[in-house]
Amino acid sequence: MSWHLLAVFFASTFFISATPGPNMLLAFQYGLNYGVKRTLWTLAGLSLGLFILLLSTLLGLDVISRQSPWLLTVIKTIGALYLVYLGVSSWRDAADNSSLMDDASAMSAEVNAELTVNSGKSDIPSPRSLSSAAVKSAPSDWILFRTGMWVSLSNPKAILFFAAFFPKFINFSAPLWPQYILLTLGLFLSETTWQLIYTLGGKKLAGWLDVGERLAWLNRGCGVIFILIAAALLVDVVSGFMA
């Protein structure tokens, strides 16, 4: 992998990671509810879940590239179409986004409801019962960690995204594991940086993103990136057939 391609990968993932998906919304809400120090346990859980999904995807791509090269071409094609779908959806749905505060509260309430169903009781207080500065009944560090890992692992779309996104930046004819390490470090740096920003930023970040259409344009920008990478993947596929 060239340094130029790695720079493109990092710039793309850094921009995409800025969008308030489930992991970022959870970090944001818990930062408000429990404070930065306690939320670090949740960030650790989010990172472990992300690592498990990422490792699973990379191992799968590794096996496929070695044993069924033709299937890798199929994955690239399907992945490109999936990225086009994500790009169009991100652009079309951008104007329908609610405020970051509303999205974060809804995400936290959904997580609490799922934990209630899975465990038979709620370990985490509802965000409605919390002030932004104080917690009536703070959960344990283990519960915060477990919740972060559960939210990260319960997003199957992440595997689809990784499988669609990574092949463009991997040279399958070169040693793979050095590339896997670089991609993993780049993605983790992007995700961790933005998780900390959402945790530390709190209401200031929400207030800035909710002004005008800043959040909408952030999502539209991600949509453009998805479509550009999809186009590059399709060019690779066509070039492979013509070679």
pTM for this structure?
0.77
Q: How far apart are CA 88 and CA 111, in angstroms?
A: 27
Amino acid at 110: E
The rounded distance, in Å, linking the Cα atoms of 107 and 143 is 17
CA separation for the pair 120, 60 (Å, rounded): 35
pLDDT in tens, the chain (243 residues): 678 888 889 999 998 888 878 888 888 888 888 888 888 999 999 999 999 999 889 889 888 888 888 888 898 899 899 889 888 888 887 666 566 666 777 766 777 766 666 655 544 444 443 334 344 456 788 989 998 998 888 877 788 888 888 988 998 888 888 999 899 899 988 998 999 988 887 767 777 776 667 777 888 888 898 899 999 888 888 887 776
Number of structural domains, the chain?
1
Please give the residue range of the domain that contains residue 208: 3-242
Question: Helix, strand, or coil here: 137?
Answer: coil
Q: What is the C-alpha to C-alpha distance for residues 66 and 59, in angstroms, rounded to an integer?
A: 11
From CA 76, how far away is CA 48, in angstroms rounded?
26
